[in-house]
Structure 1
Amino acid sequence: MIQAITFPNRIQQYNMLARRWIAELNFFNIETAFLKSQLDVCIIRLSDQTFAERLRIAIKKITKLEEDKKYSDYMLNDQFEISEQIGEELLHENESALASKQMELDYLMRNFNVEYCEVKTELFLLIKTISLQNKQLTGN
């Protein structure tokens, strides 16, 4: 028998999702710092200008994602704080308003992750291609 999810259980569920998304965004910081360091190395070794434009575009995409992350951080922290306060009965929030915010967050995080995966794939392939080209040029 399927049991309906009560509001307090839904709050716990929102809270757990917010924690997971916050962890994902924190990992994004670590991973993008690494990718940027690799891009810096590639730019230094760059011999083919066709890659220079692709690198500039990739860097712009990462910068855009970093801006999107700031907004996501704000939304997630707000949702997390609201759900914590509701759980501690310090705040009484409209269930449908909270659910609406959660849906917006879900959409936001899904899009963020899809865009980031695309950019990351593009960057890895670009870094790999540049590294292989440099190895061929240097004979290593």
Structure 2
Amino acid sequence: MAGGSAAELILFIAAIVIAASVAGTLTSEVDRVSDAISAKSLDVAGEIRADAEIVSDPGAQVYNRSGNENVTVHVRNTGASDLPAEAGEFDVILDGEYQTDVNVTTVDGDATWHRGDVIRVEFSSPGLPAGDHRLKLVVRGDEEVFRFRT
């Protein structure tokens, strides 16, 4: 009978060790998932705070307005946070081509793009053919599409 009790004791200890290792693994995985959810929520919160709307009239002249073959659009900051009025804050894509030489100025002349303020986004596009065009503006994850005709 002593042999049977020893075998049961060994199996009981083995079951406790296995249960403890499973519990430890589950705890570490739950921590990883929790950290991932926290990181994603911070990203989403940042994207919500950064929101913009293109307010230019697509029926008005957007191309070659000043005679130097520039595309000029006006964009309002509709997000919850102020943003720097710098070209590095934007990705501008015209008809599928990424634009690198983008000038950004606030309409009121301030260096910061405050909530509710409008900026002027200009870039050179010499020889833009007549017809329909698609401008995509990305501001910190917020994407806006503007269609216009030349």
TM-score (normalizing by structure 1): 0.30
- Which one has a bigger Cα radius of gyration? 2
TM-score under structure 2 normalisation? 0.28
Q: Which has the higher strand share?
A: 2
Higher helix share: 1
